[in-house]
Amino acid sequence: MTSRSPVWHPFTQHAVQPEAVMISKGEGAWLEAADGRRIFDAISSWWVVTHGHRHPHIMQAIKQQADRLDQVIFAGFTHEPAEKLARRLVEITPPELEYVFFSDSGSTSVEVALKMALGFWRHHGSNRNRILALEGAYHGDTIGGMSVGERGVFNAPYDPLLFDVQRIPFPAAGREQATLDALDAACMKGDVAALIVEPLVLGAGGMLIYPPHVLAGMKRVCAAHEILFIADEVMTGWGRTGTLFACEQADISPDIACYSKGLTGGSLPLAVTLCRADIFDAHYSADRSRTFFHSSSYTANPIACAAALANLEIWQREPVMERISAIAAFHQDKLARFRDDERFSNVRQIGTIAALDLAAKDAGYLADIGPRLYRGFLARGLLVRPLGNTIYIMPPYCSTAHDLDLVYDAVDELADESD
């Protein structure tokens, strides 16, 4: 037995990052390390924390629910937090989404969506079993999620497990029509079950942004070919793009939608997959072989559902959209100084998400500049986790102008130090 921690951390190469920072407390937009350091959470702890760490209303809801019911099997049983949450989600999400399936994470919500789509066509007696996805996409780390995500360093060792997916070119500026044409051509083959997309922003793929009219165009093409449209709003949901859900900006209603991360305000793991009524109906039968065979032990955990309900109440009671607008405006103002800066390229922003690419000799996710930048930010009391040479900022909505000034000043300083 060694003194080294037995914990194996996610997305961490322990050979070059041997020690993790011990965090003892979180409050608002800030974390407190065990050694007393305060660290501004500029990426919302992997994009999950919306209103800030330990929001009092969510914490109170968790405590109250823990005193009543902690967990119960969700097959054949139900409970009030899940029933209330499902009804509220149906009310606030796009109108065609009528049924809610609970799971535990963004990856599993995507897995559920893919299985819903394939089951829908199978139960209709149609041989539609091919999935389309955007180039550069990331949809999680389960087998289905990796299959529809971009192939590369993330999933190369697991390639024998992954199923084939046809990629549609990312709608880069000036190439939007090429994306729609490629999608149309792929759909014409007649065996496509669904298209899955991250609406408006590719997250782990580099914070790449595309316009709402392209998202609307992709939905139109799918509708014309009667192909299911899956919106993976795991990251883009809950205000990140400037509206509650990204699909609102394109005025579209997906056939299936995945939500997680900010669903509980970032307090507890919970995810949902919403779908049209006819997708539910395709599985509704006296024939038990048409059951939707998916579950996890903690499906619709009552405490997590109570946290999510409290989160939705915060959206009703507090000026959350005003806070989001303020952060978006601040990003826009602060990014201006980098737009003509030769040290950076592709300076971009949507809602509370800001990103820019640092000019570097090596680029991409495994670029050495990424860990160096990470350490530089951390030394300044900032949690920023670059995607290679892509620096992005996605703060909690309670962040102040002073908090964000610290980040932008550090971006400026670290760009000079990275030469």
Give the dihedral of Cα atoms 93, 96, 98, 103; nearest 10 deg: -60
pLDDT tens digits for range 204-243: 999 999 999 999 999 999 999 999 999 999 999 999 999 9
Mean pLDDT over 192-212 rounds to 97
Banded pLDDT at 419 (limits 50, 70, 90): low
Residue 9 has pLDDT above 50, yes or no: yes
Residue 23 has pLDDT above 60, yes or no: yes
Mean pLDDT over 377-391 rounds to 97
Question: Which domains, from first to last, does the chain contain?
Answer: 59-317 (3.40.640.10), 324-354 (no CATH)
Cα dihedral across residues 287, 292, 296, 299: positive or negative: negative
The residue that leads in pLDDT, 114 or 418, is 114
Mean pLDDT over 373-396 rounds to 97
pLDDT tens digits for range 325-345: 999 999 999 999 999 999 999
Banded pLDDT at 366 (limits 50, 70, 90): confident
DSSP lists the bridge partners of residue 392 as 355
Residue 110 has pLDDT above 50, yes or no: yes
Please indicate, yes or no, whether the overall pTM of this predicted structure exceeds 0.85: yes
* pLDDT score at 1: 43
Cβ atoms of 150 and 170 closer than 8 Å: no
Q: Which two tokens stand for residue 232?
A: 């993976």
Q: Which residues contact 45 (CB under 8 A, 6 or more apart)?
A: 53, 266, 383
For 405, list phi and psi in degrees, rounded to 5: -60, -40
